[in-house]
Structure 1
Amino acid sequence: MSTGMFFALTGVLLIVGVPIAITVGLSSIIYILAEGIKVQIVVQRLFAGVDVTALLAIPFFILAGDLMGKGGIGYRLVRLANRAVGNRTGGLAIVAIIVSMFFAAISGSGVATAAAIGGIMIPGMVAAKYDKAFSAAVIASAAPIGVIIPPSISFVQYGVLTGTSIADLYKAGFPAGFILGGALMLTAYLISKKYGYKGADRLENTHVKTEAAVAADNNYSSKDVIEVLWALGTPFIIVGGVFGGIFTPTESAVVAVIYALLVGLFVFKELTFKDLPGIFMSSALGAARIMFIIANATLFSWVMAYERIPQIIM
């Protein structure tokens, strides 16, 4: 099979709507079979793609994000941001962006951010007469900030594949993430001003909350401030630990899981041991999807190297 046919096959699969991960994997396998290369290379390359210690950060950060979303940390970050800017024009949209930035700095994952914050904010925005499509667009635009603001799963992947210092990537990610978040907030404000979207003093109907959480909305006390500090402690521990040389980015993911588990179970008490199997299963499925993409991309990159395509382009 020629290089042109290989790329043509890849293009056709994408055009007909085959998922990208399957496209790059399937086209690579067909190429290997057509070229008469030993089929064992498929298994070797797929396994080698995920057999990297640093990639352990991915399932742990996804698990940490799920634990924080179910354990009350995400909800308390929303309440904090809402108290600051929630009653202004477009307040709920701005709150969604701010919290997505905070949660991105905790989970390192755009998918985890969208799942955790979208489930809290979108129903509240719709109840406050925000357009449903606009509400979804705000979350869809803000959640990918998790790719930029440390600790970023994508930074870990890029650092592993290219040998770049992950700590240096983290340093570059902070200003870029804040600039992007500021641009999104300005856009959300201008759109909200045009269509008359308002803020909200309270976050009613935004989450399936316990009675204690509902009561807390009506009386923001010193106890709530302490709870917010527990929630804000997560990014400081993760990022501060990496920059301070206390632990590696991979180890920081484990620390995030332990911290989220302890806070959810024993501080906020919104997690129970019965909840854990379902959370673990959900996180495992999310991590498996990402690892599947990485494995197939590794096989695709091997075919590219075999055909010396990078050298030809250069």
Structure 2
Amino acid sequence: MIILLFVLLAVFVTISMPIGISLGVATLITVLFATNIDPVMIAQNSFTALDSFTLMAIPFFMLAGNFMRYGGVSKRLLNLADEIIGFITGGLGMVTTLTCMFFAAISGSGPATVSAVGSFMIPAMKEEGYDGGYAAALTAAAGTIGVVIPPSIPFVIYGVVTGTSIGDLFLAGIIPGLLMGVALMVLNYKIAKKNGWAGKGNRPTFKSVLKAIKDAFWALLSPLIILGGIYSGYFTPTEAAAISCVYTFIIGTFVYKEIGKQELFDCLKDTVVIAGATSFMIGLSSGFGTLLTMEQVPGTVASALINFSNSKIVILLLINVFLLIVGMFIDNISSCTILAPIFLPVMLELGVNPIHFGIIMTMNLAIGFITPPYGANLFIASAVGKIPMEDIIKYIWPTIGVIIAVLLLTTFIPQLSMLLV
């Protein structure tokens, strides 16, 4: 039964069937021909999974990210970052990374971060003499920070699937997310120095920085409101997402005055399309996961891994490698909903905190955003920057290397994620 289920899933994904449909059809065929389970189980579990107050945070964070992109919020964050560090060697690359970190603290989405920041920064970097492929690769890599620095849509998914505190996951992602950003900045500095990509040359003055902060003041307030409200206990992550939507809409419409009727329509349309596909995946992956649980697959996998080796280090390395490979072919949300219930019992058996494992899993799958052939961030960077994919892939490998280095540090030094928790 399990062989049939996974073979069907592999075949459907290989022929480019949408992942949500692949999960649903593979589960349905397996239930019909290899079990005595009533197929209505799939529909019941799909609707039950979506009937969640917590999951409402996902479309709200997506909409807030779109309001930022169309409302001029990301542009002002970018200007602030440019004023602070734009003069350093490789300054525009560092500005790109720092802006992605700012944007990540509001949107919770990797692809949204690349789209919003890349549309400004990739052309700007090309104008300053940067290689177009490198500009797009760095933007795509910095976009992965969007799902690690809180708020994070994959953290919401993991929290719902495993019953883990989403607020604690948000706290745990802060230090690893910052480390990813610093690592990419260091790499960018070395590459820029080697290629002679200098900064803009003008060191910031107190007056110019103050002016940039004043211009970006309302944009900077957004992450403070979202994260401050969650950690102070004033509202839940879902309520924070809704407040973020209202706040970014008001700022983009009435303060920066860049959201008109057409921009509002585009924001809503983009959110509906992405959130609809995401909800479809989450719902049907629940039916898939329920079938695995009923057939005791998580327990079997846990026993097999523990019997393979008693070493916590070896098993963590194996799971990291496996998740990196999965991320190359399947998106973050689908992978998390399928694999988190399977691997979490193994982690608990080894004494790994479920919050720590949530960070490890999200970071692994985030690397899939920049790893061919799936690489959603690569495709978005290619589209917004009008850069051929082969030019981007040539430069993406060093960025993958430094992010994997941060992943390994986070995996084997739990304090990096658990310190603030």
Cα offset, 1:201, TM superposition: 6.6
Which residue is 1:189 aligned to?
189
RCO greater where, 1 or 2, for CA within 8 Å and sep 6 or more?
1
Counterpart secondary structure, 1:149: coil
In 1: Cα distance, 2:134 partner to 2:21 partner: 31
- The residue that corresponds to 1:99 in the other structure is 99
Misfit runs of 4+, over 6 Å: none
TM-score, scaled to structure 2:
0.67
CA distance in 2, matches of 1:265, 1:6: 49
Equivalent residue runs for 1:261-272 within 5 Å:
261-272=249-260
- Counterpart among 260, 277, 296 of residue 284 in structure 2: 296
Cα deviation, 1:1-52, whole Å, max 9, x if unaligned, reads x222222222333444444433323211211221353332222222222221
Shift of 1:193: 1.7
Structure-1 separation of matches of 2:140 and 2:58: 20
Deviates more, 1:156-165 or 1:250-259: 156-165
One-letter code of the match for 1:304? L
Of stretches 103-112 and 38-47 in structure 1, the one that deviates more from structure 2 is 38-47
Deviates more, 1:166-175 or 1:7-16: 7-16
Structure 1 residues 201, 260: closer, same or farther in 2, change over 3 A? farther
Unaligned ranges ≥5, structure 2: 304-421
Say if 1:89 and 1:21 are closer, same or farther in 2 by CA, change over 3 A. Answer: farther
- On the 8 A contact 1:82/1:201 being kept in 2, the answer is no
* Mapped partners of 1:289, 1:253: distance in 2: 19
Amino acid of the residue matched to residue 116 of structure 1? A
Tell me the equivalent position of 2:9: 10
Q: Is the 8 A contact 1:83 1:201 kept in 2?
A: no
Deviations 1:194-250 (A, max 9, x none): 222233479xxxxxxxxxxxxxxxx95966432211111000000000000111000
Partner in structure 1 of residue 365 of structure 2: none
1:310 and 2:308 matched:
no
**How far did residue 309 of structure 1 move?**
0.7
- Give distance in 2, aligned partners of 1:232 and 1:154: 23
How do residues 78-227 of structure 1 correspond to structure 2 at under 5 angstroms? 78-200=78-200, 224-227=212-215
Q: Which amino acid aligns with 1:9?
A: L
State the one-letter code of the partner of 1:285.
V
- In 1, the alpha carbon distance for the partners of 2:47 and 2:37 equals 17
Greater mean alpha carbon deviation, residues 300-309 or residues 76-85: 300-309
Determine what percentage of the aligned residue pairs are the same residue.
41
Contact preservation (8 Å) 2:84, 2:209:
no
Quick one: which amino acid aligns to residue 20 of structure 2? A
Cα distance in 2 for residues equivalent to 1:11 and 1:125: 40
**Which deviations, in whole Å up to 9, do the C-alpha atoms of 1:155-213 show, x marking residues without a partner?**
111111111111111211111111111111111111222222233479xxxxxxxxxxx
Contact preservation (8 Å) 1:64, 1:253: yes
Structure 2 distance, partners of 1:22, 1:93, is 39
d(CA) in 2 for partners of 1:14, 1:270: 40
Deviation at 1:251, TM superposition (A): 0.3
Judge conservation of contact 1:32–1:39 (CA < 8 Å) in 2: yes
Alpha carbons of 1:273 and 1:223: their partners in 2 closer, same or farther (altered >3 Å)?
Answer: farther
Q: Secondary structure at the match of 1:275?
A: helix
Instruction: Count how many residue pairs are aligned between Structure 1 and Structure 2.
Output: 297
Tell me the TM-score normalized by structure 1.
0.88
Query: Which amino acid in 2 is paired with 1:249?
Result: P
